[in-house]
Structure 1
Amino acid sequence: MKSHQSPQTMKPATAAKKLGVYLEATPAEFQEGVVSRAELSALQTDPPEWLRELRRNGPHPRPVVAAKLGVSISGLARGGVTEPLTTEQIEALKTENPEWLQKERATQAEVRKETVRIKEKHAEQATRDDQRS
């Protein structure tokens, strides 16, 4: 007896997150349905115009806003940015370069440097351990 497997589906919020778009800005039919893995793959490989437009102009979800500004999501919150932003708003923030953004970018740069330092330290330790074996 062969069992019939139904296609795996996900909630629209999960699909929106995987697509890097703000769910509330997607079309109603996307928000109200479920998305199969095949549909998600099709959206990723050949995005419809609404998806291309959202990715280009927003509004963008916080992880995308944070990445475009070069800060962490926590840094956005500390800077008072709690709502999704459009590409135009993000560019305006970059141009204004407020003090909080400068500070959060510096913090993010330090975090990246520390991450690299720790990774190198672990690699050195692994090399030493390998040489001892």
Structure 2
Amino acid sequence: MKPATVAKKLEIYLPAAPQEFQDSMISREEFAELQANPPQWLQDLRRNGPHPRSIVAKRLGVSISGLTRNGLTDPLTTDEINDIRRDEPKWLVIEQQVAREVKAEEERIAAEAAKKRAREARRRPSKDR
């Protein structure tokens, strides 16, 4: 696999990984080993960052779009993320509320779809009857 693919799967920021990692193809076996027994550099990177925007968004409880709307386009370290959470700027509170509303709507739509599938399943004649 390409290093970018592996970095995405490991949820790390590729430019912060060791150059050797960035320059080499990784087999599925090597990838599985990285997941099972992460080397120190990977543990440190996951713990301290810098983190890709997907992880920053997840840790702040907002969307990637919410980060972009508020000028956060670069990777952030764990300390920077914690500072934002501690300071709790107005934009963060607003974006977290937006994220909660979006999630609630997605759950409502999924529940409606499940109910519809259940109704349709009850309406279909069974082959066993």
Please classify the TM superposition score into its range, dividing by the shorter chain length: over 0.9
Instruction: Find the partner of 1:126 among 114, 117, 123.
Output: 117
Corresponding residue number in structure 2 for 1:65: 56
Instruction: Find the partner of 1:46 among 22, 25, 37.
Output: 37
Instruction: Find the partner of 2:94 among 103, 106, 109.
Output: 103
- CA–CA separation in structure 2 for the residues paired with 1:76 and 1:99: 13
Instruction: Find the partner of 2:103 among 100, 108, 112.
Output: 112
Corresponding residue number in structure 1 for 2:27: 36
Pairwise CA distance, 1:12: 0.9
Pairwise CA distance, 1:88: 0.4
1:88 paired to 2:94: no
1:14 paired to 2:24: no
Unmatched runs of 5 consecutive residues or more in structure 2: 125-129
| Superposed CA RMSD | 0.7
Question: What TM-score, normalized to structure 2?
Answer: 0.93
Q: Kindly provide the amino acid, as one letter, of the partner of residue 81 in structure 2.
A: I
Q: Kindly provide the amino acid, as one letter, of the partner of residue 49 in structure 1.
A: Q
Q: Kindly provide the amino acid, as one letter, of the partner of residue 92 in structure 2.
A: L
Unmatched runs of 5 consecutive residues or more in structure 1: 1-9
Q: Secondary structure at the match of 1:104?
A: helix
Q: Secondary structure at the match of 2:71?
A: coil
Identity of aligned pairs, percent? 52
- CA–CA separation in structure 2 for the residues paired with 1:132 and 1:14: 45
Q: Secondary structure at the match of 2:114?
A: helix
Superposed CA deviations along residues 70-114 of structure 1, whole A, max 9, x for unmatched, are: 111111101110000000000000011111111110010000000
Superposed CA deviations along residues 33-91 of structure 1, whole A, max 9, x for unmatched, are: 11111111100000000000000010000001000001111111011100000000000
Corresponding residue number in structure 1 for 2:127: none
1:23 paired to 2:14: yes
Q: Kindly provide the amino acid, as one letter, of the partner of residue 117 in structure 2.
A: A
Q: How many residues align?
A: 124
Pairwise CA distance, 1:132: 1.6
